[in-house]
């Protein structure tokens, strides 16, 4: 359970979590963006009844961007690793932050681009490791890009 909540501005909140606290569950409908100020956060995804850790975020990292930008339920759950302090931006606060600090948007785009590259690299490693059929992989890649 969170131990401290501080309203900074109308659309920005600072909240602290203890080790293991759930920040949000997979499937939640919240659209807030989170920026790690201290501590760490692990992202867990349910896959066919198994739980898989798909990411870990540390100081300066952000998460929650998929729900914020796509207006869809949370893709995975987020949990505090140790005592963790987060800056929480409401959707309107996100837009204000970009207007006040355009470099914030550029830094986010850089980080998101890196995440796509790392995901692509991991996918290609699996293709090579398991000698997956190239045409099926190509279909998967096109589907990931939103192409039929």
**How does pLDDT run across 13-26, given as a tens digit for each residue?**
999 999 999 999 99
Question: What pLDDT is attached to residue 146?
Answer: 84
- The Cα 128–Cα 121 span in angstroms is 11
What are the distances in angstroms from CA 108 to CA 68, 77, 131, 146?
13, 20, 34, 21
User: Encoding tokens for residue 41?
Assistant: 């956060």
Q: What is the pLDDT of residue 120?
A: 86
The H-or-E segment that residue 34 falls in is: strand 33-47
Query: Residues 119-134: pLDDT tens digits?
Result: 889 988 988 999 988 8
Q: Using one digit for the tens of pLDDT, what is the confidence trace for 94-117?
A: 998 899 999 999 999 999 999 999
For the chain, what is the mean pLDDT? 91
Name residue, tokens 């909540």.
5
| Predicted confidence (pLDDT) at residue 59 exceeds the cutoff of 70 | yes
pTM for the model: 0.86
* 126 contact partners, CB below 8 Å, separation of at least 6: 132
Which residues fall within 8 angstroms of residue 119, CB to CB, at 6 or more apart? Answer: none
């Amino acid at each position: 359970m969170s131990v401290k909540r501080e309203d900074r501005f109308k659309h920005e909140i600072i909240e602290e979590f203890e080790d293991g606290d759930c920040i949000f569950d997979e499937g939640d409908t919240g659209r807030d963006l989170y920026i790690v100020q201290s501590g760490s956060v692990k992202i867990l995804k349910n896959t066919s009844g198994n739980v898989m850790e798909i990411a870990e975020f540390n100081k300066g990292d952000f998460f929650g961007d998929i729900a914020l930008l796509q207006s869809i339920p949370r893709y995975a759950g987020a949990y505090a690793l140790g005592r963790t302090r987060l800056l929480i931006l409401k959707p309107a606060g996100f837009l204000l932050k970009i207007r006040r600090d355009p470099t914030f948007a550029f830094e986010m785009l850089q980080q998101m681009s890196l995440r796509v590259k790392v995901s692509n690299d991991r996918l290609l490693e699996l293709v090579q490791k398991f000698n997956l059929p190239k045409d099926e992989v190509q279909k998967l890649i096109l589907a990931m890009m939103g192409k039929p």
